[in-house]
Amino acid sequence: MRWYLGVRCQKCHMPILFALDHSEGAGKRQALSAGKLVLTCPLENCRHQADYTGAVVSRFQKQPGKPNETGRNNESNKSPKHKR
């Protein structure tokens, strides 16, 4: 299982993964600033698109090759992003 950074969909609350967590879930919490973060939910029946720039970023564990399956019990929150 690999660790990814993601947010929860504003509509269906499922994880939207957007980056590999290179610390493998054990990294120090730090404020991230990636500029504007607009994401689309990957679920076929949702596909909600929203601006997640100020959203809380969490860590999710997922099996490689299974795009919509995350380890829901293997989630840890990171601090919210700060705008510069």
In a domain, 70, yes or no: yes
In a domain, 38, yes or no: yes
In a domain, 51, yes or no: yes
In a domain, 83, yes or no: no
Write down the pLDDT at residue 4. 92
For residue 20 the two structure tokens come to 């590999």
Write down the pLDDT at residue 68. 58
Q: Is the pTM of this model over 0.75?
A: no
**Residue 15 CB burial class (10 angstroms; 0-12, 13-18, ≥19):** buried
- Asked if 63 and 12 count as a contact pair (C-beta separation under 8 A), the reply is no
Write down the pLDDT at residue 73. 42
Total number of domains constituting the chain: 1
Q: How far is CA 51 from the centre of its chain?
A: 13
Domain of residue 28: give its range. Answer: 2-77
In a domain, 13, yes or no: yes
In a domain, 27, yes or no: yes
Mean pLDDT in order along the chain per 10 residues (84 residues): 94 95 71 78 97 92 70 48 42
DSSP state of 53: T
For residue 3 the two structure tokens come to 């660790």
In a domain, 28, yes or no: yes
